């Protein structure tokens, strides 16, 4: 035995032919006889997740590394039968967890290394700091080997290592990256975040193309480039056909396992568009066959500015059967309306009547209109089909014959003829014709008197004034003219999409268009019949119609200067109505971020997220900045000051006259002077 071997034996080392391999002797202790050593340097303990992982590993593979222990001794030096775990406290806790779950007995014998020769604190410290952690890429490839070579699924691997199946899938996805990207990651030429961004798509060729084009790009820019030829699962087209139908047709769904991907990405855009077109075409064919329209067209986007005329359905006379059902329904409600628990037969009959009344036809298109009009089937912004019925092409419009004379023209011609009749003298008065027209001056004077009287009478009847106002607004809104009313009130409605293509798909704009169609179905086609229609409405319906017409005339667009007072009034209306534009607008690339400077985007991030985030993103190029900032700004529901609503001013604040906390309020109060600056800003954007 050599001198070094003899020294090893004196220190208690176990020797083999190759020399010292470990300290101490091997001894088995019952699990309930193992204690935590007070000399263990890890005072913070182990997390529950770590203990779960080690318990799963021990349960699957046994105890690979033996704990190092010291026998617990009494003051006289004798052993108590317990052992203090110097190195391996995490393994002890994992074994206790398995015993608690009754997967192993509490008295199970645990093989340990007894080491009293080395200092316990030094052993514990060495156990925790002398490790060389596994490179993440090695971990990814090891998980991949378990999956490929042993055929284990993500759930089985997760159970053997005490992690979630999602973690295993992430490791497998990273291991499946292009080998040269893995090599770059090992060489620290790629960060883990960048590697995760590349694996959003498993196409190695595409990964290499993006890496060559953007070798040092931000992860968000890499992810965007990897998915630029895909469609996100929350796209309106996907919501229309469904992911299941796309996958069933052979489409591939890509999932980003490392970020919120909102359902994933659809890689075959051509297939998706084909499915959308086929589904829209099927709906169109069904409408043409079932309803008898002259033509039906499908559109992916609503064709604004089409210039087509329109016909609307009209109420139909209720059938005797419907009148009988309505009467029976009303009688049952009157008889049983106060009863909380209806008899089963009464409840069943009411349910049947409700279903039958709902199925009754209450409005229909005229057969002549069906023969000349058509339908659009349009895919809406929310992924729901939008059916626009009653559209009439120019060649199918009915040309009304010109009347022989217009009342206003006839009256004017009579007045002009009256100018040529001299005022009769006293001598000629007896011989005058009582049917001769009056002079234009006298006609004007007399009708001026009548107008004054009518104004006074109308001013004394507020309810009638509201009816007359509603009438003239309806004429201007739905017929484009107000000549059928004597009120000199002009109605105009700015076509908002002319200020930006994105306005066409605004939820608020589309909701107003839908509401316009609902009212247009009821408004008479003859302007002269509109008065009787308005008078015949109940109070709530008339108020709703008035509100729609008034709202349709509102114009708060900052397109030119000189509208300071009108825009200030729009701010007041926004405050009073509690307008919240986050329901209709978000800071996306096409609506805002790509149309402003980097400074605007960073300022928005600073305000909506945090100054630290804005500082961190400040070094990115604009495209990368937009990709990184958009998700946070949308999530934070951030709005530029032009879209914000002023908070209502309290009475106390108003009396004190203090400045507002909202800088946008001070900016807007400057009136016309501010308008010019805003116009320049809009033009710059």
CA distance 206 to 212: 10
Question: What is residue 245's predicted lDDT score, i.e. its pLDDT?
Answer: 93
Is the pLDDT at 330 greater than 90? The verdict is: no
Q: Return the domain boundaries, the chain.
A: 23-129, 274-396, 470-684
Nearest-angstrom CA–CA distance, 120 and 291: 89
What pLDDT, in 10s, does the model give residues 420-476? 445 555 444 445 556 667 667 766 666 666 666 656 665 666 677 677 787 777 877
Please give the pLDDT value at position 272. 92
Would strands 79-87 and 34-36 be described as parallel, antiparallel, or unpaired? parallel
Give the residue, 372 or 45, on which the prediction is more confident: 372
Assess whether pLDDT exceeds 70 at residue 45. yes
**DSSP β-bridge partners for residue 36:** 85
Q: Output the pLDDT for position 544.
A: 83
- Say yes or no to pLDDT of 679 above 60: no
Give the separation between CA 194 and CA 190, rounded to whole angstroms: 6
Residues in CB range of 101: below 8 A, 6 or more apart: none
**pLDDT attached to residue 74:** 92
Give the residue, 170 or 427, on which the prediction is more confident. Answer: 170
Residue whose C-alpha is closest to residue 311's, from 632, 555, 536, 525: 525
Per-residue pLDDT, 548: 78
pLDDT at 234: 87
- From 588-602, 624-638, 666-680, the region with the lowest mean pLDDT: 666-680
What is residue 373's predicted lDDT score, i.e. its pLDDT?
93
CA angle 634, 638, 641 (to 5 degrees): 145
DSSP state of 513: H
Q: Strands 109-114 and 231-232, how do they pair? A: unpaired
What average pLDDT does range 588-614 have in this prediction? Answer: 89
- Tens digit of pLDDT for each residue in 243-252? 999 999 999 8
For the cut 60, the answer to whether the pLDDT of residue 665 exceeds it is: no
Which neighbouring-strand residues pair with 22? Answer: 14
Q: Which of 123-132, 286-295, 441-450, 631-640 has the lowest mean pLDDT?
A: 441-450
Neighbour order of strands in the sheet with 265-266: 231-232, 265-266, 253-254
pLDDT at residue 447 in the model: 65
Residue 23: per-residue pLDDT: 61
Percent of the chain with pLDDT over 70: 78
Nearest C-alpha neighbor of 471 from the set 403, 535, 390? 535
What is the predicted pLDDT for the residue at 672?
A: 38
- For residue 30, the model assigns a pLDDT of 92
The Cα–Cα gap between 281 and 378 comes to 10
Mean pLDDT, rounded, for 665-682 = 36
- Predicted pLDDT of residue 482: 54
pLDDT, average across residues 161-184: 85
Average pLDDT value for the chain: 78
Residue that wins the pLDDT comparison between 322 and 291: 291
Residue 679 or residue 116, greater confidence: 116
* 675 contacts 563 by C-beta, under 8 angstroms: yes
CA angle (279 as vertex; 276, 284 as ends), nearest 5? 120
At residue 212, what are phi and psi to the nearest 5 degrees? -65, -35
Measured CA distances, 414 to 432, 438, 442, 444, 446 (Å): 18, 9, 13, 13, 16
pLDDT for the residue numbered 170: 86
Two tokens at 64?
Answer: 């690979």
- Distance between CA atoms of 663 and 534, rounded to whole angstroms? 45
- What are φ and ψ of residue 86, in 5° steps? -80, -45
pLDDT attached to residue 417:
41
**Per-residue pLDDT, 677:** 33
The helices-and-strands tally (H runs, E runs) of the chain is 31, 16
Q: What is the pLDDT of residues 77-116, one digit of tens each?
A: 899 999 999 888 889 999 999 999 999 999 999 989 888 8
What does the DSSP assignment read for 384-424? -EEEEEEEE-GGG---PPPPS--HHHHHHHHHHHHHTSPPP
Which one is the CATH code of 23-129: 3.90.1530, 3.10.450, 2.20.25, 3.30.300? 3.90.1530
- Of 199-208, 227-236, 481-490, 565-574, give the lowest mean pLDDT range: 481-490
Quick: pLDDT tens for 368-396. Answer: 999 999 999 999 878 889 898 999 998 98
Q: What span, in angstroms and rounded, lies between the C-alpha atoms of 83 and 72?
A: 5
pLDDT at 507: 82
Residue scoring higher pLDDT (520 or 431): 520
Query: How far apart are alpha carbons 384 and 381 in whole angstroms?
Result: 7
Question: What string of H, E and C letters represents the secondary structure of 249-278?
Answer: CCCCEECCCCCCCCCCEECCHHHHHHHHHH
The yes-or-no verdict on residue 293 having pLDDT over 90 is: yes
Torsion of CA 633, 634, 635, 636, to 10 degrees: 50
Report field, pTM of the whole predicted structure over 0.85? no
**Residue by residue, what is the 3-state secondary structure of 442-485?**
HHHHHHHHHHHHHHHHHHCCHHHHHHHHHHHHHHHHHHCCCCCC
Beta-carbon-side half-sphere exposure of residue 239 (alpha carbons within 13 Å): 11
Q: Strand (E) positions, 244-350?
A: 253-254, 265-266, 295-299, 309-310, 314-315
pLDDT, residue 560, reads: 63
């Amino acid at each position: 035995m050599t001198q070094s071997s003899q020294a090893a034996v004196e220190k208690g080392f176990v020797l083999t032919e190759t020399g010292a391999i470990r300290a101490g002797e091997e001894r088995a202790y019952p699990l309930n006889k193992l204690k935590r050593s007070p000399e263990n340097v890890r005072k913070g303990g182990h997390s529950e997740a770590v203990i779960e992982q080690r318990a799963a590993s021990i349960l699957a593979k046994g105890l690979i590394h033996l704990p190092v222990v010291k026998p617990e001794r009494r003051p006289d030096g004798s052993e108590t039968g317990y052992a203090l775990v110097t190195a391996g406290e995490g393994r002890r806790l994992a074994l206790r967890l398995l015993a608690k779950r009754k997967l192993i007995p509490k008295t199970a014998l645990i093989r340990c290394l007894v080491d009293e020769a080395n200092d316990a604190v030094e052993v514990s410290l060495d156990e925790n700091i002398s490790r060389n952690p596994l490179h993440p890429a090695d971990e990814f490839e090891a998980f991949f080997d378990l999956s490929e070579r042993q055929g284990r699924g993500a759930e089985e691997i997760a159970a053997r290592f005490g992690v979630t199946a999602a973690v295993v899938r992430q490791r497998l996805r990273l291991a499946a990256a292009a080998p040269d990207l893995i090599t770059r990651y090992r060489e620290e030429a790629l960060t883990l975040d960048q590697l995760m961004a590349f694996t959003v798509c498993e196409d190695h060729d595409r990964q290499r193309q993006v890496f060559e084009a953007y070798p040092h790009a931000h992860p968000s820019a890499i992810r965007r480039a990897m998915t630029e030829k895909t469609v996100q699962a929350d796209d309106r087209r996907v919501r229309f056909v469904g992911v299941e139908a796309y996958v069933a047709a052979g489409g591939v769904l890509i999932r980003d396992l490392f970020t919120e991907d909102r359902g994933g990405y659809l890689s075959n855009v051509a297939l998706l568009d084909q499915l959308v077109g086929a589904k829209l075409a099927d709906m169109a064919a069904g409408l043409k066959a079932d309803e008898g329209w002259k033509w039906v067209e499908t559109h992916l986007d609503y064709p604004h500015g089409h210039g087509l005329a329109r016909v609307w359905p009209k109420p139909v006379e209720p059938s005797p059967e419907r009148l009988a059902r309505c009467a029976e329904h009303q009688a049952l409600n009157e008889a049983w309306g106060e009863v909380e628990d209806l008899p089963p037969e009464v409840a069943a009959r009411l349910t049947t009547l409700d279903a039958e009344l709902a199925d009754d036809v209450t409005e229909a298109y005229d057969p002549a209109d069906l023969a000349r009009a058509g339908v659009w089937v349009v895919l809406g912004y929310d992924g729901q089909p939008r059916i626009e019925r009653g559209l009439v092409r120019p060649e199918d419009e009915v040309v009304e014959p010109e009347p022989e004379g217009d009342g206003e023209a006839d009256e004017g011609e009579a007045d002009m003829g009256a100018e040529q009749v001299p005022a009769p003298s006293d001598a000629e008065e007896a011989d005058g014709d009582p049917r001769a027209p009056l002079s234009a001056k006298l006609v004007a004077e007399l009708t001026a008197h009548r107008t004054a009287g009518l104004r006074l009478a109308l001013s004394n009847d507020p309810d009638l004034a509201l009816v007359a106002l509603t009438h003239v607004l309806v004429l201007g809104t739905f017929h484009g003219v107000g000549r059928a009313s004597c009120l000199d009130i002009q109605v105009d409605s700015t076509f908002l999409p002319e200020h930006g293509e994105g306005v066409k798909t605004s939820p608020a704009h589309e909701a107003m268009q839908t509401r316009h169609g609902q009212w247009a179905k009821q408004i008479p086609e003859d302007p002269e019949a509109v008065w009787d229609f308005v008078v015949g409405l109940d109070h709530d319906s008339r108020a709703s119609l008035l509100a729609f017409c008034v709202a349709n005339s509102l114009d708060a667009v900052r397109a030119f200067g000189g509208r300071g007072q009108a825009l200030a009034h729009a701010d007041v209306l926004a405050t009073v109505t509690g307008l919240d534009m986050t329901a209709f607008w978000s800071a996306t690339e096409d609506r805002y971020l790509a149309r402003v400077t980097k400074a605007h985007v960073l300022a928005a991030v600073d305000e909506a997220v945090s100054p630290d985030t804005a500082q961190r993103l400040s070094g990115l190029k604009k495209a990368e900045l937009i990709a990184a900032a958009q998700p946070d700004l949308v999530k934070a529901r951030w709005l530029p000051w032009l879209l914000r609503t002023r908070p209502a001013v309290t009475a106390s604040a108003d009396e004190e006259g203090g400045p507002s906390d909202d800088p946008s309020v001070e900016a807007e109060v400057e009136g016309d002077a501010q308008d010019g600056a805003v116009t320049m800003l809009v033009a710059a954007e």
